[in-house]
């Protein structure tokens, strides 16, 4: 294989790492002298699984592979890049400038160019949605973007004039998910669960449902994008300046290969992350570990009470508000699988050893938190407060919870009280 030029990783304007690859499927990561001069050794910088070190991380591929989509979308990106589907380096060389979190990956040692946004008209966006199955992520010749996941989706930029397409690595602000035709009503329910999560303080993600090309779509704001503090002038091609917020999912943070076990490696039963392991990361790296562990317990309680058996290691993330510090990210993928008989019923992450989500009790939630070294009375209080807030939100007209989901949540909250 011919020698490849290295890729460079930028974080908030600083070139923090160099990536190399000697063969397809391999990615080695070495932190730069700039990064080593700025921060202490052994802190999580790009990832908890890639601590800042003078030594090369020869197995950095797990974190970087986690920036790429799964299934047909990955195959599509590989085809556009002219590389194999397992060639993480090759795909990031082509599509690494707008990925999850704050990392910007590009060739050359100078700062990557800013990119721009191209305004959609209604017909243009409808055409993108209509073609999404054959054209995953709506990639164009000038697209330099990637997003993890299996579901059909595309990335958008919100502008005062309407939705736009990110061009040449411009940071996207929203994700559009196309409803799976096998599960009608799913995006409406996912949006409702996100509203419930917002009502109980577990997400900042804003969700709306819109129809394009006769298909219902969920549009969610990205929690890893924020308005720039000192915003410059905006125009049609260069909307309000944005900053990227660094984050990683817990598969990346723990160095777990989500592609393992025929794509089931994100589930605990197939070697994916567990609540205990996520708690250990928060206990080690959070600025306020107790607060973050209590928040993790609230997330676990919410997940059980809303019947989400798909809350796996790619659907739970950590924010990096400062180098070396992590905290739990807002919830962003909240499917009430219990309302769809064809979807999974086993918990993506077990609770106190229980695998069947419907069998989890309030006492199990408290016992699970005790494994993280949370005080029993404090854990019981978190569970009860979360259930109270959720039951109230499900009955709140402003949340607009569909009746079937509201009944399920109310019943589950009542049965879960420890």
Domain membership of residue 155 (yes or no) is yes
Instruction: Please indicate, yes or no, whether residues 154 and 285 belong to a single structural domain of this protein.
Output: no
Q: Which domain holds residue 332?
A: 247-416
pLDDT tops 50 at residue 305: yes
Among 78, 107, 136, the domain-final residue is 107
pLDDT over 60 at 75, yes or no: yes
Q: Is the pLDDT of residue 114 over 50?
A: yes
For residues 378-383, give the mean pLDDT.
98
Catalytic sites, residue numbers:
310
Whether residues 261 and 232 share a domain: the answer is no
pLDDT of amino acid 229: 54
Look at residue 234 in the predicted model and tell me its pLDDT. 52
SS (H, E, C) the chain: CCCCCCEEEEECCEEEEEEECCCCCCCEEEECHHHHHHCCCCCEEEECCEECCCCCECCCHHHHHCCCCCHHHHHHHHHHHCCCCCCHHHHHHHHCCECCCCEEEEECCCCCCCCEEEECCHHHHHHHHHCCCCCCECCCCCCCECCCCCCCEEEEEEECCEEEEEECCCCCCEEEEECCCCCCCHHHHHHHHHHHHHHCCCCCCCEEEEEECCEEEEEEECCCEEECCCCCCCCCCCCCCEEECCEEEHHHHCCCCCCHHHHCCCCHHHCCCCHHHHHHHHHHHCCCHHHHHHHHHHHHHHHHHCCCCCCCCCCCEEEEEECCEEEECCCCCCCCHHHCCCCCCEEEEEECCEEEHHHCCHHHHHHHHHCCCCCHHHHHHHHHHHHHHHHHHHCCCCCCCCHHHHHHHHHHHHHHCC
Are 94 and 142 in the same domain?
no
pLDDT digits (tens, 9 = 90+) for 242-290: 899 999 999 999 999 999 999 999 999 999 999 999 999 999 999 999 9
pLDDT at 109: 76
Which pLDDT belongs to residue 289?
Answer: 98
What digits encode the pLDDT tens for the residues 179-188? Answer: 998 999 999 9
pLDDT value of residue 2: 65
Crossing angle, helix 362-370 and helix 289-305, to 10 degrees?
Answer: 150
2 in a structural domain: no
pLDDT at residue 237 is higher than 90: no
pLDDT, average across residues 326-334: 97
Q: Are residues 142 and 17 in the same domain?
A: no
For residues 91 and 151, state if they share a domain: no
Close Cβ partners of 358 (under 8 Å, ≥ 6 residues apart): 307, 338, 345
119 pLDDT tier (thresholds 50, 70, 90): very high
- When pLDDT is averaged across residues 173-194 and rounded to a whole number, the result is 95
In a domain, residue 1? The reply is: no
Residue 106 in tokens: 């590009």
The answer on pLDDT for 129 being more than 90 is: yes
- Shared-domain flag, residues 161 and 195: yes
- Answer whether residue 348 shows pLDDT above 90: yes
Res 24: pLDDT:
79
244, 276, 310 - which closes a domain: 244
Smallest CA-to-CA distance from 261 within 273, 253, 252, 271 is with 271
Q: Is 210 contained in some domain?
A: yes
How confident is the prediction for the chain on average, in pLDDT? Answer: 94
Identify whether residues 205 and 77 lie together within a single domain: no
Domain shared by 290 and 412, yes or no: yes
Is residue 63 in some structural domain? yes
User: Residue 14 pairs with which residues in a beta bridge?
Assistant: 11
The pLDDT of residue 231 is: 44
Number of domains in the chain: 3
pLDDT at 230: 47
The pLDDT, as a whole number, for residue 4 is 86
Q: Which of 75, 107, 139 is the last residue in one of the domains?
A: 107
Cβ atoms 24, 84 nearer than 8 A: yes
Provide the token pair at 54.
């003078």
pLDDT at residue 238, rounded to an integer: 53
Burial classification of residue 293, based on how many CB atoms lie within 10 Å of its CB (0-12 exposed, 13-18 middle, 19 or more buried): buried
Cβ 195 vs Cβ 400: under 8 Å: yes
134/328: higher pLDDT: 328
81 and 165 assigned to the same domain: no
- Residue 269 belongs to some domain of the structure: yes
- Is the per-residue pLDDT at 386 higher than 50? yes
Does residue 236 surpass a pLDDT of 70? no
Entry pTM:
0.95
pLDDT tens profile 88-104: 999 999 999 999 999 99
Res. 359 pLDDT band, cuts 50 70 90:
very high
The answer to whether position 384 is within a domain reads yes
């Amino acid at each position: 294989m011919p020698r490849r030029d290295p890729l460079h990783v930028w974080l908030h304007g600083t070139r923090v790492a160099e990536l190399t690859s000697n063969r397809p499927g391999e990615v080695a990561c070495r932190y730069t002298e700039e990064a080593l001069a700025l921060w202490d050794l052994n802190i999580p910088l790009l990832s908890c699984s890639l601590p800042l070190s003078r030594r090369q991380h020869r197995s950095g591929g797990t974190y970087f592979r986690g920036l790429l989509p799964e299934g047909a979308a990955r195959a599509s990106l590989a085809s556009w890049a002219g590389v194999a589907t397992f060639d993480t380096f090759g795909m990031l060389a082509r599509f690494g400038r707008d990925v999850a979190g704050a990392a910007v990956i590009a060739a050359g040692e100078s700062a990557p160019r800013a990119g721009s946004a191209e305004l959609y008209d209604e017909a243009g966006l409808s055409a993108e949605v209509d073609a999404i199955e054959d054209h995953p992520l709506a990639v164009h010749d000038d697209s330099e973007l990637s997003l993890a996941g299996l579901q059909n989706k595309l990335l958008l930029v919100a502008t005062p004039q309407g939705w736009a397409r990110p061009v040449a690595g411009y940071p996207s602000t929203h994700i559009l998910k196309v409803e799976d035709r096998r599960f009608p009503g799913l995006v409406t329910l996912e949006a409702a669960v996100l509203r419930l999560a917002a009502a109980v303080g577990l997400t900042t993600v804003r969700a709306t449902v819109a129809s394009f090309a006769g298909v219902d779509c969920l549009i969610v704001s990205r929690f890893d994008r924020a308005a720039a503090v000192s915003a410059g002038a905006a125009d049609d091609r260069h909307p309000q300046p944005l900053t990227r917020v660094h984050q990683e999912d817990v598969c990346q943070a723990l160095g777990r290969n989500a592609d393992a076990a025929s794509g089931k490696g994100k589930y605990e039963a197939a070697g994916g992350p567990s609540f205990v392991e996520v708690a250990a990361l928060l206990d080690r790296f959070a600025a306020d570990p107790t607060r973050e562990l209590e928040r993790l317990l609230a997330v676990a309680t919410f997940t059980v009470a809303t019947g989400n058996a798909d809350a796996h290691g790619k659907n739970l993330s950590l924010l990096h508000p400062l180098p070396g510090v992590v905290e739990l990210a807002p919830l962003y993928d909240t499917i009430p699988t219990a309302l769809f008989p064809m979807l999974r019923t086993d918990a993506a992450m077990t609770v106190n050893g229980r695998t069947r989500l419907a069998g989890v009790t309030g006492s199990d939630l408290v016992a699970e938190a005790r494994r993280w070294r949370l005080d029993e009375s404090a854990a019981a209080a978190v569970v009860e407060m979360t259930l109270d807030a959720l039951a109230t939100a499900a009955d709140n007209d402003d949340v607009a919870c569909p009746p079937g989901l509201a009944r399920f949540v109310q019943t589950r909250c009542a049965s879960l009280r420890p």
